[in-house]
């Protein structure tokens, strides 16, 4: 249930920002950036979401939507984990399936009846998420996730993220060189940086991607984080477009 709640929070946050429709094969560019950093590849994560209609759907209707997406991914005979939640004001259908030994697909449909004081029609949201370790399939799954949202009449707001790692804790000079390599690869400008002893976080703009999120009259479409994990003695790096879509 943690992922469901995290993605729903992500939806609500994203509703406060302009829509994002990025250029094709951003996943390939992210892989190039991770290679430029010199990190060992660890995880890929792709999330796309949209409002798909203005109705308060029954579970049967939500299941029909879910099944269309399953057909797009050509899943075949698999075991699905399905969770349903409902009340008078919302219904959630959460479906999880393992695509291969290292890749998972989540399809979340949430239908909401808003309180009368909002004076708005009901809404149904769709979230499609693929996560795993097979970098060779990153571009392929990026296209499939976006196709799934568009197939149900949604407007794609896709975010893609790669995670890598370095053994041990980086010193300041090593971290600075890694970041310079990423800046050069992505041609990043006007950066907003936050850091402490263990964590570095950056929002920046790259002309390699079409659209951006506007914050304080500036556009950003790249999010980078670096954090040292004492428990496994590794320094992890996340690169996301336009934001990092997973917890770090």
pLDDT at 146: 95
Q: Provide the domain limits for residue 195.
A: 163-241
56 domain-assigned: no
Q: Is the residue at 48 inside a domain?
A: no
How many structural domains comprise the chain?
A: 1
Does residue 246 belong to any structural domain of this protein?
no
Q: Which pTM value belongs to this model?
A: 0.85
In the chain, at which residue ranges do the beta strands (DSSP E only) sit? 40-53, 80-86, 90-100, 103-112, 123-132, 159-167, 189-195, 199-205, 213-215, 218-220, 222-229, 234-241
Look at residue 30 and tell me if it is in a domain. Answer: no
In a domain, 223, yes or no: yes
**What pLDDT is stored for residue 176 in this prediction?**
93
pLDDT of residue 213: 84
Cis check: omega of the bond before 71, within 30 degrees of 0: no
Whether residue 143 is contained in a domain is answered as no
Residue 61 lies in a domain: no
pLDDT at residue 117, rounded to an integer = 76
**119 within domain boundaries:** no
CB atoms within 10 A of CB 61: 17
| pLDDT tens digit at each of 248 positions of the chain | 444 444 444 444 444 344 444 444 789 999 999 999 999 999 999 999 999 999 999 999 999 999 999 999 998 888 899 999 999 999 999 999 999 999 999 999 999 998 877 768 999 999 999 999 999 999 999 999 999 999 999 999 899 999 999 999 999 999 999 999 999 999 998 898 888 777 899 999 999 987 788 888 889 999 999 999 999 999 999 999 998 888 87
Place of tokens 């999880």: 96
Tokens read off for 182: 């990423």
């Amino acid at each position: 249930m943690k992922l469901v709640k995290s993605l729903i929070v992500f939806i609500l946050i994203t509703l406060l920002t302009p829509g994002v429709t990025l250029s094709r094969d951003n996943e390939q560019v992210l892989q190039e950036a991770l290679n430029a950093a010199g990190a060992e590849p660890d995880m890929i994560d792709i999330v796309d979401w949209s409002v798909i209609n203005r109705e308060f759907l029954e579970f049967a209707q939500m299941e029909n939507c879910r099944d269309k997406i399953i057909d797009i991914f050509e899943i075949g005979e698999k075991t699905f984990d399905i969770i349903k939640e409902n009340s008078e004001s919302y219904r959630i259908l959460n479906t999880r399936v393992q695509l291969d030994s290292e890749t998972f697909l989540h399809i979340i449909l949430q239908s909401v009846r808003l309180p009368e004081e909002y004076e708005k029609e009901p809404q149904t949201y769709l979230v499609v998420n693929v996560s795993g370790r097979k970098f060779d399939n990153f571009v392929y799954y990026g296209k499939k996730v976006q196709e799934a949202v568009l197939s149900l009449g949604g407007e794609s707001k896709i975010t893609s993220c790669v995670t890598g790692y370095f053994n041990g804790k980086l010193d300041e000079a090593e971290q600075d060189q890694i970041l310079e390599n990423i800046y050069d690869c992505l041609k990043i400008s006007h950066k907003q940086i936050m850091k402490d002893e263990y964590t570095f976080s950056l929002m920046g703009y790259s002309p390699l991607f079409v659209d951006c999120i506007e914050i304080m009259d500036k556009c950003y479409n790249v999010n980078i984080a670096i954090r040292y994990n004492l428990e496994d003695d590794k320094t992890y790096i996340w690169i996301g477009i336009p934001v990092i879509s997973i917890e770090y």
